[in-house]
Structure 1
Amino acid sequence: MHTENVLICGAGIAGPALAYWLDRYGYAVTVVERAPAPRPGGQAVDFKGATHRTVLERMGIWEEIHARRTGTTDTVFVDEHGQRLAFMSGDFTGGDVEILRGDLSRIMYERTAARCEYVFGDTVTALTDTEGGVRVEFERGAARTFDLVFGADGIHSRVRRLAFGPEREFVRHLGHYYCVAGASPWSTTAAGSRERATAHGYNTPGRLAVSGGPKAQQLYLFTAPELDYARDDVESQRRIVTEAYAGLGWQVPRMLEEMAAFDDFYLDSLSRVDMAKSGYTRGRVALVGDSGYGNTLGGFGTGLAVVGAYVIAGELALHDDHTVAFANYDAIMRRYAKIAGRSNAGRFLAPKTGYGIALRNRFLESPLWRLMSKYSDDASNDIELRDYPQLVAP
């Protein structure tokens, strides 16, 4: 049983998952999150395969996730006149169970809030790693020293930048941006709904627009070089999307008009984190989830986050020396996280040429698509999941 004080930066998915396990192993856990409160809503995330389910069952949250799962959404790709071109089953995109990101984050937060210290509305500004611990300076709170620090703060991780180096050294822009706008069509559906919905996607070269119908959540995905915009300036981000889709037909004009009034709006690049040379740990600092092995819309991010949290906490429970635990975590997750580096959703969903769109549509209708789906299922289980000590802090 451990008594060290640890800091986790980020209260999305990886952060609370890690907080759960570290608390069970006796660590005194503090979680700092820049947002003022747990973030609601968001896009749907999914889990697939025995590995993901095993970790969630060991956390005691599988049944609650299943009870609050979304319905399944199939996607029909159409031409400008609404005629069907190809079909992508929601059974592939939604895994074994799909849940809104905000709902999953809330489940994990509620499991840890009573025992872990959560500090909302603040963030890390400086880290000084010493032999006796990591001195952490905050944007608002007083400086504190922790035995270990974990970055679970996403692809644009501040902890990674402070401990490892500039973002440009580890994050590769994949040539696309994506935007999710509007409330999910499942946000007002009864928990555990088994309803099946159909979204429609429309492509032109380098652009995809997906709508589940009037007032449903929208997805935009488009090619673009790295853009310079303020991450907190939503209005300028809306203009970026509007300009990227100006002049398109189908339902796009209606979608853009609705988007202007949606409160729920998120724009970001499709990016891939590559920590192959440095590993996910440095000194007393470690990265978990998207901060270490993120690949936007790659299909494995949430599963990797919960498995990574389970592994690093378990290794720390087995070893008194964090350097041994960190080395084992690096070795285990470097192999497993390779699945995150093998996909580029932008090239598949928004091909840059008309020929590429036609080829994608033919692929979706072919037996090869079913083989790729099976590969995805196999990859999610490609890890020897250790049965770490099931210790419970007093």
Structure 2
Amino acid sequence: MPVVENIGLDHAELLRFITAGSVDDGKSTLIGRLLHDSKSIFEDQLSAIEKTSNKRGMEKVDLSLLTDGLQAEREQGITIDVAYRYFTTPKRKFIIADTPGHEQYTRNMVTGASTANLAIILIDARKGVLTQSRRHAYLASLVGIPHLVVAVNKMDLVDYSQDVFNQIRDEFSAFLGELGLHSVEYIPMSALAGDMVVGRGDNLDWHTGKPLLDYLESIDIEHDINTRDFRFPVQWVSRPQTEEMHDFRGYMGRIESGSIRVGDAITVLPSGLTSRIKEILFFNDRYDTAFAPQSITFTIEDHLDISRGDMLVNGGEPPRITKEFDAMLCWLSDQAYDSRRKYIVKHATRLVKGLIARIDYRVDVNTMNHEDINSLSMNDIARVGIKVQQPLVVDTYTQNRGTGCFILIDEVTNNTVAAGMICNS
């Protein structure tokens, strides 16, 4: 069995991004334009939306139909759920989440943004920066999206005015500075006409930046993952019941951050036991190194009591082992929070019973004001204190998205009712 240097999986090849904006800002049209102009749709798909567009009496193909998949969306002309699409170019692979613009679908945007490298916030050039624009930027910063594109859309309806674009850019830049967002690109465009989406078009020569697709293909996301702190939540302990492998004990899961080499020392938390990496396995091959976000199997040099939910760590800043932590919580359920109900906290691969010990405040996602409340309803975002029965191995969300997040599950219905991001106490 050969040993090679590392597994040939390049995280930088895949870019996950979301689109967000107010109703009718053109999110679905923009994605449709990306798919259409990059030749990432099949002929039968194009034929179907051409027929639908003709039935509606439209002169041009309605590219938004490529993403607005729910019947209710098509009837109302709005995006209700999160629509995911995949496409690829010679330079990169993409997963797109088209998220809702309505305030009542905040939970959907948080869901779509939780794994994104980049967010595209659309602003209608005619309307300028709206309350919803600020809300979506706040949510993007809340879930830790590293990169932001502010797409000033519908420039064709303001005669491609550079002054209009500059005014929107300056106003929004001041707001984003307050949120601590610094990796921001501003792009004027017309998704309907195709200017500055895939090609440059003929109407925005005054803008010297890249078209949107060029920017998405070239942005560096290699450092979006925490490469310093090794975190490996154990998902499964592999004990094959075969004569050839009766002594084999492997630990399977996904590396959430950092990297590891054969021979490196590791600590098992929360027990504190230590050992060294003996083998790194991927199917039938052995490797010298492995790194986030690879799914892998490890063996170690010692026989230790390790089970699902434990975490292997190495180097960097140590995580916190705790039964109490503060978090920003997004309530996802249409059933309001009830302090009498029992909840399960799912953190990485570990499940423990827990409760919301206190609610400090709710964030008004439109004004960013803090409001005193004693309950939580669907789409509410609040700072809370969480207590759990058994210790969890946690990082803050800003340090490590993989080990700084959790969900709350209703113990009776088994429904996911909330998603949380651990913050400093």
TM-score, reference length from structure 1: 0.23
Question: Rg bigger for which structure?
Answer: 2
Q: Point out the structure with the larger helix share.
A: 1
Higher relative contact order (Cα pairs below 8 Å, separated by 6+ residues): 1
